[in-house]
Amino acid sequence: MAEDETGQGPIGQDVRRSTLDARLKAAADAEKIRTGTGQRKPEKGYSQGSRVLTELIAGPAGGALIGWLLDRWLGTTPWLLLVMMALGIIVAFRNIMRISGERPE
């Protein structure tokens, strides 16, 4: 069957849309090939850096949060906050040394 004047096929599918989708997919594939940005995993050094940053933020912040909550609960302000933040910093640096000892592939 032929298209009618609205550009729709016999079942109501827009032929122009399907050809546009095909052309967009072809253009996206050509751009991926041109720029070399296919489905690549991040390099080992990048993921190690992200882990180090996470440790630097999460260790002290987690320790401070736990210390603050314990201080509020036990009424020992600010001592448990300081102790738990120091422990968080120590654990973060220990984990960072462990991460830096890993050999990149």
| Mean of per-residue pLDDT scores for the chain | 84
Average pLDDT over residues 31-39: 74
CA distance 46 to 87: 27
Where in the chain are the domains? 1-40, 44-100
Task: Tell me: pLDDT of 96 over 70.
Answer: yes
- The residue whose two tokens read 């550009």 is 7
Average pLDDT over residues 56-84: 95
Both tokens of residue 26?
Answer: 């072809």
Average pLDDT over residues 77-93: 96
Give the pLDDT score at 29.
85
Both tokens of residue 44?
Answer: 């080992």
Give the pLDDT score at 5.
59
Consecutive H or E run containing 51 = helix 44-74
Give the pLDDT score at 3.
53
Give the pLDDT score at 75.
93
pLDDT tens for 53-66 read: 999 999 999 999 99
